[in-house]
Homo-oligomer: A and B are copies of this chain.
Amino acid sequence: MNRTGPLPQLESLAAHSDVYKDSQRMAILDLGSNSFRMIVVEYVPGLSFKVVDEIAESVRLSEGMGESNILRAAAMDRAVQAVQIFAAFCRASRIKDIVAVGTSAIRDARNQSALLTRLKATTGIDVRVLSGEEEAHYGYLGAINSSTLVNGFVLDMGGGSLQITRVEDRRAREAISFPLGAVRVTERFLTSDPVRHAELEALREYLSRQFGTVRWFHYKPDTELVFVGGGVRMLGRLAQKMEGYPLDMMQGYVLSSNALKAIRKTIAEKSIADRRRIPGMKPERADISLGSAVVVYEALRASGFEQLTISAQGVRGGLFYEHFLQGDSEPLFEDVRKASVLNLAHIYRFQEQHALHIAHLTLSMLDQLPEGSHLCRSVEREILWAASMLHDIGVAIDYNDHHKHGAYLILNDGLPGFTHREIALIALLTRYHRKGEPVLGEFERVMEPGDARRLLQLCALLRLAEQLDRSRDGVVRDVRLTVDVGNQWAQMELLARGDGQVALWSVLRHRDIFQQAFGLQLEVTLTPGG
């Protein structure tokens, strides 16, 4: 049992609301082979960030490029129109910090400069064309800062290319870019509608040969494969619809090789028109969806992974993190889970002092519980810490029902780095931190055995801590817990700064949940000035 495990560090953060006044905005334009996207990120340097706007246009820039690598006139017109929207949007929103990158289609186009010149002339925007290695790098930066990947691979599939980066100890060690994007392989191999079996086979053989050239792309124990890109997100959506997944969350979703196989089969049997009726299918992606499914599935098969984890943050995320973390020695969060929690807390302007004190009290209680109480894994410390930090963020929506609003915000954010089970537990702890009988409800399907009891126990600690700091002044600086398991009895001594009567009175009114959770009668004593 590891009690002193990865306890998130509780350093004091700048507690002044003034820090929020220094917020800045930047626009990141990602001109891909299939879609053009712009995100606007609002951020407070060193503190927090949030995507506040997004425009996506299905430009299909690589359409008809074929082997000649010439951008077609109609595709260029669509590209110019899309970037005009982005530029007008930035002007109207007074955003001056604009980063625009072009990937595979632009990179490979022999008439690249014609497009870049037109874009510059009509919109004033300079487009930086990323090499395959650079594209891989930014995909890796996005994925590594939104997951707990330590060793393994980041794969990034766009419309034009697929990047594979090998990760060791969180650093990118080598990377390669293939022209295996969803539009590219579809136009080259899957031209019939419905697709013929021979076409599929030809693509699979081709992919197998390509992946075979990368000697380092192999599963090893304790490695993970993180996948980014619009194509894999759509496959994730289809998988979630198929299994009736209870969470509306793509970040961190685990997609198995078996699920991918079933999806590939479903899509392969249908014409493009019929694919549009598959639940979760984006109509504008129906034609390239089979190409996506085949590439992703074959990548798993070639490397020997049985599952992949989806990250919703790719090249655009990477470009942002490079900027946001520029003061650091490397643009990597030291602890992604901690960064996610603090980011969410700051976005909704949490009351830092109260949150830190609640975290102190809950973790202190947790550490003083004996082993028989089943609370022993270090991950539970992190869940309890996260819920302690976030339990009041719902106040940003409304004080009334803020426990419900908080759960809504947590589930919506998706806390990159946490698994869906962990996120659901953090949301449920927030949901029940004031009142109500904590139940797993709709989330039961993503839970592990024993989680109902675990939720109840963690919730008991959080709710008692909340009562102890009801007046928000830290009057109870710590608690001393003595447990007599044999006699099913526990005593909690409140070490108070002042007289602490109010805290005593408040906690006594809520001891039922502790007794129910741990099967222990609870006595509470008060040591004023202790």
A interface list, Cβ under 8 A from B: 21, 39, 50-55, 81, 84-85, 88-89, 91-93, 351, 353-354, 395, 397-401, 405, 408-409, 412-413, 470-475, 501-502, 505-506
Contacts and interface: CB of A to CB of B under 8 A. Distances in A.
Contact of A401 (B55, B397, B412, B471): B412
Contacts of A85: 470-471, 502, 506
Contacts of A88: 471-473, 475, 502
Contact of A413 (B353, B398, B412): B398
Contacts of A408: 408
A296 B378 CA distance: 55
Contact of A397 (B409, B471, B501): B409
Contacts of A92: 353-354, 471-474
A81 B505 CA distance: 9
A53 B472 CA distance: 12
27 contacts: A21-B21, A50-B398, A53-B395, A53-B399, A55-B470, A81-B501, A81-B502, A84-B471, A85-B471, A85-B502, A88-B472, A88-B473, A88-B475, A88-B502, A89-B470, A89-B471, A89-B472, A92-B353, A92-B354, A92-B472, A92-B473, A93-B472, A397-B397, A397-B409, A397-B412, A401-B412, A408-B408
Top 9 A-B residue pairs of the complex, sorted by shortest distance between their CB atoms? A88-B471, A92-B473, A92-B472, A88-B473, A54-B399, A51-B399, A89-B471, A85-B471, A85-B502
A401 B408 CA distance: 13
Given A51-B399, A55-B470, A81-B502, 10 more contacts: A39-B399, A81-B501, A84-B471, A84-B502, A85-B502, A88-B502, A92-B353, A93-B472, A397-B397, A401-B412
Contacts of A39: 399
A288 to B, nearest CB: 19
Contacts of A473: 88-89, 91-92
Given A471-B88, A475-B88, A405 B398 contact: no
A234 B405 CA distance: 22
Contacts of A52: 395, 399
A88 B474 CA distance: 10
A309 B406 CA distance: 30
